[in-house]
A and B are shown apart, each in its own frame.
Chain A
Amino acid sequence: MSDDTWHVAEEDLRAYARGTLTAPLLWSADTHLAACARCRALLAEAGDPAALDAGWERLDAELDAPRPGRCEALLVRCGVPDHTARLLAATALLRRSWLGALGLVLLMTCVAALSTAATRTPTPFLAVAPLLPLAGVALAYGPALDPAYEMAVVTPTHGFRLLMIRTVAVLAAGLGVNGLATLALPGYGLRALGWLLPALALTSAGLALAPRLGPVGGPSAVAGAWVAVLLAADAARAAPGLPLAPFTAAGQGVSAAVALLGAGLLFLVRDRFDVCARGVV
C-alpha cells in the first residue's frame, strides 16, 4: 500500500478503540480497517484488549450491514440519528414516492409560476402551491403505500411518531421547493408567500381527518374543500384584479386558525394512528 493512500487518523483510531467514534467516520473506519493491515496494527496498539475485542465484534457485525444510501448519508451528516434516517430514507418505495412527490412539486410550481408571468397575478401559483405539500404528506404514510404497514403498526414505535417523522421530512422538502419557486416571483413581494399558511392549514386538517377518512381520503377531502373555497371566492370577488379571499389578510388569519385547530385535533386523535386503519385485513 503506498504512503499517499488515505488511512484512519490516529486520534480517530483511539476513538474507535474506545468505542466513541461516531458515524459517518465510524463507517469509514469500519470499511477501511477491513482492508488495511497497517491501520489494524495501529489499532491494536491504540486500545486495550477488551475494547479491541468489542471493536472487532462491532466490525464483524458491520461488515454485512446495509450501506447507507446518499439520501440517508446526507441526513446523518445533517445531524439526523442514523435510525431515524433509515426510517426516512431506507425504504425504496417511500424514497421513490417521496422523490416523485418532490418532482411533482417542482414541475407544477414551475408551470404555475410560468402562468403567473403571463397573467400578472400570483393567484394560480397560490392556489396550487398549498396542495403540493398536502399530496406529499398523503403519499408518505399508510397501508396503500407501505407494504410492511401491518408489521410496522404492531411495533412499539408509536404510529403517530412515525407519521410525524415522515410528515416533517416531506413537508420540509415540499415547503422548501415551494419557497424556491416563490423566489422566482420577486415582483409580488410578500403576496407570493400567501400559499404558506394555507399549505399548513390543509396539511394539518388533512392529517386530522385521516383516522376517519383514511390516509389518502382525509387529504383528498381537504383538497376538494380547498378547491371549492377558491371557486366560491372567485365567484364572490368584486373585481377581477383583486386577490381571492384566502390570500387577503383576513383569509390568511383564517388559514392560521385552521392550521392551529387542525394541529390540535391531530394531537387529540394521535392514538388512532397507533392501530391499523379500519378495513386493513
Chain B
Amino acid sequence: MTPTVSAFGLSLHYGRTRALDEVSLRLTPGVTGLLGPNGAGKTTLLRVLATAAPADRGTFTVLGHDPSGAAGRREVRRRLGYLPQTPGLHPHFTAFEFVDYVAILKELTDRAARHREVRRVLDEVGLADVRARSVGKLSGGTRRRVALAAALVGEPAFLVLDEPTVGLDPEQRMRFRELIAGAGEGRTVLLSTHQTEDVAMLCHRVLVLADGTVRFDGTPAELAARAAGRVWSSAERAPGARAGWRTGTGGHRNLGDPPPGADLLEPTLEDGYLLTLDEAGTEVAA
C-alpha cells in the first residue's frame, strides 16, 4: 500500500535535550497508534509531522509533498487536520464561529460553501445542538469535540491527534473513540495516546516511542505477542520480575523472565508495551 506519510531520519533537539533521534516511519490509511511514556517525544514528533515545528535533520513527505519549502508546506497543510494536545479555543466564540474561523484559515473563503462544511463537521462530531453555544460554556469533552471538528474541516487526508482522550471520563472517552474510528475510515490518522485501550480498540498499527526513538513498529497483536511466555502470576511479587503489580484478585501479575514452573498468563497489549519500554531502558512505573 502506498504510504500517506514517509519520514526518514527525523531528529530534533531543544538545547541539549534530544527530543527526536533518527525517527523513520511510514503511515498508511487507517489509525496508527503512537504509544510512549511522558517525555518520549510523541508530541514533538506529531508537531513535526503537522508542520508546526521543523526538524533539525531528516525529511518527510505527505502524499508526495515535501514540507521543507513554503510551497510544499502549504500543500501538506491543505491535506492536514491537526488536534494539538491542548487545543486552545477562543472562549467567546460559539462552536460554529470557532470552526468557521479555522475553515477560513483552511482557505474556504466562499461563505455559503464554508458554512455548509462547518455544519457538516459539527454534525459529524455530534455537536449540531450546541453549535450556537459559547465555547467557554462547554464541558472539556465537548470543547475537545469542537477542536476535532475544526481539525476535520476540509476533509483532510492526514489527521494528527495528540492525546485526544486524555482527561475525559469513560463515557466521553468511548464517544471519542467512536469519532476517531469514523475519522479513520478512508484517511490516515496518527493517534498519540497513553492509553493502550485506545490502541487495542482503534489501531491497525502501533509505534512505541521512547527517548525520541522508535522502539517498536507493528500491529497491536505483534506488540502483545512480544510478552508471550513472559507474563506470569504469583502470590507475591516475583523478585526477578522486570515489573509487577497486585491485581484485583489479590495475586501479582509479573513481567520478565519467568521462573521454571511459573503460572503463565495470556499477554496483553499493555504487557508487550511495558516490556518494550523495559528493553529500551525506560523506567517502567509498575
Residues of A participating in the B interface, judged by any CB pair closer than 8 Å = 23, 57-58, 61-62, 64-66, 81-83, 86-87, 90-93, 146-158, 162, 271, 274-276, 281
Contacts and interface: CB of A to CB of B under 8 A. Distances in A.
Interface hub of A57, A58, A156 (most chain B Cβ within 10 A)? A156
Interface hub of B92, B96, B104 (most chain A Cβ within 10 A)? B104
Interface string B241-261: 000000000000000000000
A43 B227 CA distance: 70
Nearest to A66: B97
Given A66-B100, A92-B93, A276-B52, A152 B105 contact: yes
**Interface size, B (range):** 35 or more
Contacts of A158: 70, 74
B166 interface: no
A281 B116 CA distance: 33
24 contacts: A61-B115, A64-B96, A66-B96, A82-B111, A83-B109, A83-B114, A86-B100, A87-B101, A87-B105, A91-B93, A92-B92, A148-B101, A150-B82, A152-B105, A154-B50, A154-B52, A154-B80, A155-B107, A156-B78, A156-B105, A162-B105, A274-B70, A275-B52, A276-B52
A150 B111 contact: no
Interface string B62-90: 00000000100110011010101001111
Contact of A156 (B47, B77, B92): B77
B90 A92 contact: yes
Contacts of B102: 148, 151-152, 155
Contact of B115 (A62, A90, A153, A281): A62
Contacts of B109: 81, 83
A155 B96 contact: no
Contact of A64 (B78, B132, B151): B132
A156 B108 CA distance: 10
Given A148-B102, A156-B74, A275-B54, A91 B90 contact: yes
Closest 4 CB pairs of A and B: A147-B88, A92-B92, A155-B105, A61-B115
A60 B216 CA distance: 49
Contact of A151 (B100, B114, B150): B150
Contact of A58 (B89, B105, B112): B112
A93 B115 contact: no
Nearest to A157: B105
Contacts of B131: 64
A281 B107 contact: no
A154 B101 CA distance: 14
B174 interface: no
Given A62-B115, A156-B74, A150 B52 contact: yes
Nearest to A19: B112
Contacts of A156: 74, 77-78, 105-107
B97 A90 contact: yes
B147 interface: yes
Interface of B: 43-44, 47, 50-54, 70, 73-74, 77-78, 80, 82, 84, 87-94, 96-98, 100-102, 104-107, 109, 111-112, 114-116, 119, 131-132, 147, 150-151
A203 B131 CA distance: 39
A214 to B, nearest CB: 15
A86 B77 contact: no
B77 to A, nearest CB: 4
Nearest to A96: B92
A35 B153 CA distance: 30
Nearest to B69: A271
A57 B117 CA distance: 12
A148 B90 CA distance: 7
Contacts of B89: 147-148
Contacts of A157: 104-107
A157 B105 CA distance: 5
Contacts of B82: 150-151, 154
B84 A65 contact: no
Contacts of A162: 105
A65 B74 contact: no
A224 B243 CA distance: 57
B111 A93 contact: no
A86 B112 CA distance: 14
B97 A93 contact: no
Given A64-B132, A65-B96, A86-B101, A155 B77 contact: yes
A62 B109 CA distance: 15
Interface hub of A58, A66, A146, A147 (most chain B Cβ within 10 A)? A66
A274 B53 CA distance: 9
Contacts of A155: 77, 102, 105-107
Contacts of A62: 112, 115
Nearest to A30: B112
Nearest to B107: A156
